[in-house]
Amino acid sequence: MNSESTSSQTSKVSFSMDDFAKALEQHDYEFQKGQVVRGKVYRYESDGAYIDIGGKSLAYVPFQEVSLQTTGDLAELLPLQGEMDFLIVREQDAEGQITLSRRQLEIKRVWDELVEIQDDNKSLQVRVSGVNKGGVTVDWQGLRGFVPRSHLSQRNDLESLVGHSLTVTILEADRDRDKLVLSQRQASRAESFSQLELGQLVEGSVVSIKPFGVFIDFGGSTGLLHIKQVSQNFIQDLSKMFEMGQPIKAMIVNLDEGQGRISLSTRVLENYPGEMVEKMAEVMASAEARSERARTKVLQQ
């Protein structure tokens, strides 16, 4: 091999290595998709903002990735020279630019908070944003949720709910499917149960009479006075003892929040078997005094 040929090959190799080195310099390998980086807002564009994350070139946040909030001024959401965290959603393109997102970080934070709320069986406040045939759509911290019609306290004229706040609990929170299903009725029931306790005397009215028992409405809750809990004596026909709308006092003897069941008893208020059948008015008139004695028995069961 002559010296001219050797010189030519060396030149080619040298050029190739230089080109490779330059390519390395142009690429920020320390920044990868999915990485959270700290950056400073550098300047605004009509459809986003440039962020200095310490790379060889400025990174970019498109407007739709600025925040979960659908409204708001860019200068308020991303204050100029402000420092904050961003998520890399696309590694640098042919022009060496990295694409960032604040919105994706907010989504993760909101879902993490929802999971914690669900684990703690807590309720949350949401704002009704729209209506469809199945129920209403709601907004919580920029995340969209759904309340089925069957889980609304008000099932008619759903349009009137738009713009109003609802107290709800979580039925389903699926981060992977971006699915959030909520219940207002369950939240109302949980709130009602939080104010009830075993041995508590409640006062309400008869709203339904069935062969197996009487349903009593009190303070927005409904409890069952089972036929066996009316009196210590056997009762053949409840319709002969009670009528719709009749006022009644009874004691809570069982609470099942999971099933939404409240069991009531007037049997525990009797001084002797059959007193509810023979002298119901007297039992009701002195129910408060009788309940003090009966509460101890209920709590000991």
CATH homologous superfamily, domain 36-101: Nucleic acid-binding proteins (2.40.50.140)
Percent of the chain with pLDDT over 90: 55
CATH number for the segment(s) 120-190: 2.40.50.140
* Whole-prediction pTM: 0.58
pLDDT of the residue at 139: 93
Residue 57 φ/ψ, nearest 5 degrees: -140, 165
Given this chain, do its domains 36-101 and 120-190 carry the same CATH topology? yes
More confidently predicted of 233 and 95: 233
Q: Is the model's pLDDT at 6 over the cut of 70?
A: no
pLDDT greater than 90 at residue 47: no
Domain ranges of the chain: 36-101, 120-190, 196-300
Count of all residues that appear for the chain in the document:
301
The CATH number of domain 196-300 is 2.40.50.140? yes
pLDDT at 16 over 70: no
Report the half-sphere exposure of 300 (CA within 13 A, side-chain side): 6
pLDDT, tens digit (0-9, with 9 covering 90-100), for 130-173: 999 899 999 998 899 999 999 998 888 899 999 999 999 999 99
- Pick from 85-94, 104-113, 186-195 the range whose average pLDDT is largest: 104-113
For position 25, what pLDDT does the model report?
A: 53
